[in-house]
Amino acid sequence: MNPISPPEPVQGLPARYFTDEHVHDRIKRSVFFRTWQFACHESRIPKKGDYFTLSLFDQDVYIVRDAEADLRAFYNVCQHRGHRLLEGQGNKKRISCPYHSWTYDLSGRLIGAPNSRSVPGFDASDICVPSIRLENFLGFIFINLDERCASMDECYPGVREEILGLCPDIESRRFAHEHNANEGCNWLTAVENYNECYHCKVAHAEFAKGIIDPDSYNIVPFGEGRVLRHSSLATRSSEAWYDMQGSNYGSFYLWPASSIQLYPGGVVNTYHWRPLSVDDVRVFRGWYSEDGKVDETLQRVIDLDRETTFSEDLELVRNVQRGLRSMGYRPGPLVVDPNGGIDSELSIAALHQWLRESIDRE
Ligand code: FES
Ligand SMILES: [Fe+2]
């Protein structure tokens, strides 16, 4: 499944994959509606009845902790005439639709519908909000709209073990902070940019000194799944962002739009993306700590990341999206270095291959 060293230069993907509405619609159905998407950290909904909503393209979803304290995901749509059931985040004992007050329990069963008793044959027990596949992966809640999709351990084999190797106590982390931004580019423009560090020395001088050691940095397909593993020793620079002890840097990008990152010393953070249109995507940057608080060190890392790497990438990807629409753009060859390393685009070749495998067979 993963690309091997090609005998000749690999050409970049034609621009239509990033700019064409029809391709974007195929990607929605064949990629995003069939793969695991990071929803939120379990610590954001710790109590029975806590819920969290999100949208994936035109599909609204809610995650809830039910009466048994189990995590469940549902389509966020009333089975009466289609109004959305929940907004934002909060806590409910039961879920009542704002339109005509049909009411559901936390497992999605209809338990009340005004005046329905006067309807001969109305059987509330037939009516349920449809559920969605959900997995709690080391504390990170993922959903999948494809009921027949393989489990996360089957889709991303070996990742759980690798993450635990770098951060054995990751399951005790709690959500501490999140910020997001619209990137003004196609989701793949953003995901490609995230998954290569060929631009790091040019564009991310602070990251290349503050967190990683560029000479040891590598991004390669990992295992048998659609996974890219970023790895590096911790920076040895005197300009390190914090006092780094213990483990090295590792990041696990899980196709198509989620990544769990471990900064040196076990600073846990995430990226995930939700496409908004063919040329816009929202990126979410999450941070986690042992007590769910942002201490002084974590605040410093969040601020430095946001002011440097995060905003530098926003500029780059907006600029690229405009270029992808240029009548003068002919995709160049990718710089796939057989020896890997920070300046190789093997990861981009892998992303292009996975996209083509997913949508070109249609
Ligand atoms: S649409 Fe929800 S109660 Fe009518
Ligand atoms: Fe970048």
Among 65, 72, 111, 119, residue whose Cα is nearest residue 92: 65
Query: What pLDDT is recorded for position 1?
Result: 42
Residue of the CA atom closest to atom 3 of ligand 1: 100
Fold classification of 50-136 (topology level): Rieske Iron-sulfur Protein (2.102.10)
| In the chain, domain spans | 16-35+153-359, 50-136
Q: Which residues line ligand 1 (CB under 6 A)?
A: 78, 80-83, 97, 99-102
> How many other β-carbons are positioned within 10 Å of the β-carbon of residue 274?
18
**b/e code 62-99 from CB counts within 10 Å (16+ = b):** bbbbeeeeebbbbbbbbbeeeebbbeeeeebeebbbee
Residue with token string 């029975």: 48
Q: How far is the CA of 133 from the centre of ligand 1 (A)?
A: 24
Beta bridge partners of 260: 252, 270
Residue 104: φ, ψ to 5°:
-120, 150
Q: Which ligand is nearest to the CA of 96?
A: 1
**Low pLDDT (below 50) residues in the chain:** 1-2
Q: Which ligand is nearest to the CA of 112?
A: 1
The C-alpha torsion from 131 through 137 and 142 to 144, rounded to 10°, is -60
Q: How far is the CA of 108 from the centre of ligand 1 (A)?
A: 14
Q: Which contacts of 113-116 are long-range, i.e. CB under 8 A and separated by 24 or more positions?
A: 113/80
The answer to whether 39 touches 141, Cβ cutoff 8 Å, is: yes
Tell which one of 83, 86, 96 to mutate to probe ligand 1, the residue whose CB is within 8 A of the most ligand atoms.
83
Q: Which ligand is nearest to the CA of 208?
A: 2
Residue 141: φ, ψ to 5°:
-85, 125
Residue of the CA atom closest to atom 4 of ligand 1: 100
Q: How far is the CA of 32 from the centre of ligand 1 (A)?
A: 28
The answer to whether 197 touches 342, Cβ cutoff 8 Å, is: yes
Q: Which ligand is nearest to the CA of 83?
A: 1
CATH of the structural domain 16-35+153-359, one choice from 3.40.190.150, 1.10.645.10, 3.90.380.10, 3.90.480.20:
3.90.380.10
Query: What pLDDT is recorded for position 339?
Result: 86
Tell which one of 60, 75, 78, 111 to mutate to probe ligand 1, the residue whose CB is within 8 A of the most ligand atoms.
78
Question: What are the structure tokens assigned to 325, written together?
Answer: 């629409």
Instruction: Please state the atom number of ligand 1 nearest to the C-alpha of residue 85.
Output: 2
3-state SS assignment for residue 357? helix
Query: What pLDDT is recorded for position 8?
Result: 82
Beta bridge partners of 285: 179, 271
> Rounded to whole angstroms, how far apart are CA atoms 196 and 190?
10
Tell which one of 94, 97, 116 to mutate to probe ligand 1, the residue whose CB is within 8 A of the most ligand atoms.
97
